[in-house]
Amino acid sequence: MPEPKKLAMLTGGGDCPGLNAVIRAAVMTARNYGWEVYGVRNGFAGLLRVDVLRLSREKVKGILHTGGTILGSTNKVDPFAVKAGTQVDDQSDLVIENFRNEGFEALITIGGDGTQNIAYKFLKRGIPVVGVPKTIDNDVSATEVTFGFDTAVATATDALDKLHPTAESHQRVMVVEVMGRNAGWIALHSGIAGGADVILIPEIPFDIDKVCAKVRVRYEMGRNFAIIVVAEGALPTGGEFKGQLEDRRHEATESSLCNRIAQYIRRDTGHDVRAIVLGHLQRGGSPTTYDRLLGSRYGAAAVRLVRDGQFGKMVALRGGEIVAVDLHDAIERMKAVPVVSDIVQTARDLGIAFGD
Ligand code: F6P
């Protein structure tokens, strides 16, 4: 394959702190090889209608510490299944045609499992792709950490710190819902760091009566408040709450998971309970030092993979080093919290209940 001169780069799926650090690092690294980087707006949508912009050094100035993505993102557009009313069309040919017409020689896809799945399909259709893993949920199996996770955990921990004194002052139970559709990493890390009493995660089905029992014991001991952290995808034993998995707007609605849990605890224990959904706050804000660094390392490494013609690979963190893994392996399975692990055991040792 000839040396690429024009690189395209997109961000797909939910945004996350550190995306701009990746974009900036990729542009700055590509400049060293004399290459041009083009940003594709709003994920794959920007390749369906050729919505691209040249990312000069000027364009990526001052973005290292900013949240969001300067390219825009969407988790609704899959060129292999474009929805128009009730119709679903495969428009992948159009994307490939646009990509070639623009003279792009490589595509860097910064995204989670949804984006990398689409990227892999394009790879099989001949598009030279390099992936960069992204999600605040930290559930990509091929890498030890995804950028954005550290910032999201810091935000959630900060919220728990702020809820502690008000919970204690009013002798209340606070039920705090954090993101984590399929994996409980944010709940687990912030719950331990924020001194939660109960952590509910998708990997450990919970018995709501055991959660209530834990709350009762705390009040009996004279600790007249409790903090419960619940991942959005946490499931009660024997299934899900009716409508739980469809109703994922990350708002404090009547039917949101934390509200249902709060209502049950209120009825069962008679204590005053409040439900809080942290929602998209966890996706915002300035990336932490860790996420800026990891994002920068990923962005630079992705361009080095393009330089070396290593297409069909994704950058990943393993043993503290950035390595290249097969995109296919990377999307094959998600990374759940290992139920038997040091971190879960640490939580148990600290007296944190999982409702199991
Ligand atoms: O994938 C990351 C994530 O934060 C999930 O935890 C959550 O379910 C989803 O994004 C929310 O996305 P949306 O922007 O569609 O509400």
Single out the catalytic residue among 15, 137, 139, 197.
137
Query: 185-193 and 149-169 helices cross at what angle (nearest 10)?
Result: 50
What is the arithmetic mean of pLDDT over 95-119? 96
Query: What does pTM read for this prediction?
Result: 0.94
**Using one digit for the tens of pLDDT, what is the confidence trace for 276-333?**
999 999 999 999 999 999 999 999 999 999 999 999 999 999 999 999 999 988 888 8
> How remote is the CA of residue 153 from the centroid of ligand 1, in Å?
15
Give the right CATH number for 6-148+287-331 from 3.30.70.1290, 3.40.50.300, 3.40.50.450, 3.30.230.10.
3.40.50.450
Give 199's pLDDT tier (boundaries 50, 70, 90).
Answer: very high
CA-CA distances (angstroms) from residue 22 to 6, 52, 56, 85, 303?
17, 17, 15, 35, 10
Is 137 an active-site residue?
yes
Report which residue type is found at 151: T
> How remote is the CA of residue 16 from the centroid of ligand 1, in Å?
10
> How remote is the CA of residue 217 from the centroid of ligand 1, in Å?
34
> How remote is the CA of residue 220 from the centroid of ligand 1, in Å?
38
Question: Domain 151-283: which CATH class?
Answer: alpha beta
Residues with CB under 6 A from ligand 1: 14, 75, 112, 135-137, 179-181, 232, 248, 250, 283
Report which residue type is found at 49: R
Q: Which residues make up the CATH 3.40.50.450 domain(s) of the chain?
A: 6-148+287-331
Percent of the chain's residues with pLDDT above 90 = 89
Neighbours of 164 (CB within 10 A): 16
246, 248, 334, 337: residue to mutate for ligand 1 pocket, most atoms within 8 A of CB: 248
pLDDT for 141 beyond 80: yes
336 DSSP 8-state letter = P
